[in-house]
Amino acid sequence: MARPREFDTTVALGKAMDVFWTKGYEATSLCDLLEAMGLSKSSFYDTFGSKHEVFLATIEHYKKTMTAQITGVASLESPARKLIESLFDRAVSRMTEEGGQRGCFLNNCAVEVALHDPAAAKLIDGGISLVEDTFFTLVERGQREGDVAPDKDARALARYLTSSLNGLLVIAKANPNPEALADISQMSLTALD
């Protein structure tokens, strides 16, 4: 009979995600993961299988936790344009706070592994698509509310906003200058006019 797990897999995934987020996939060793997760090799392999499998699981974990925070914005009772602005404002704020320069986990993974890891690329794309769908919902709502230009293609605008937000997060890793990031944010939002 198998022994019951003596750890919370969700907590362990969060700790593994932090290691990958800080060090990147390639630079993360099995020892790094075991230490951060507080697991023995046998518990790690029995539960997660391999470094690659736990990496994929951390991408899913990020989508269910962090990306869910963004998707939840679409259900808030506030003008859509204000909600779109708040997503950009929060990104600027997060990237300029102490320790905020890690960027977006999905972006980091996309840059590092998506080109040569189809399984990771598919999961990353799924997470980015959730952000795009959130912008799409907000853009359509903003068009109905009269705060977003009604003659613009809502899906194309959602893709542009997703790209702009992700670009801002990447740039901020190298230059977390609040004024420069605010400029990028404000120029991105002019697409709504």
Domain ranges for the chain, please list them: 59-192
The C-alpha atoms of residue 88 and residue 63 are separated, in whole angstroms, by 18
pLDDT of 98? 85
Is domain 59-192 in CATH 3.40.50.150, yes or no? no
pLDDT of 5? 54
pLDDT of 25? 97
Contact status, residue 56 vs residue 120, Cβ threshold 8 Å: yes
pTM: predicted TM-score of the whole model, two decimal places: 0.90
3-state secondary structure of 103: coil
Residues 6+ apart with CB under 8 A from 102: 21, 22, 108, 173
Spell out, as residue ranges, where the chain has pLDDT lower than 50: 1-2, 4
pLDDT of 99? 80
pLDDT of 1? 43
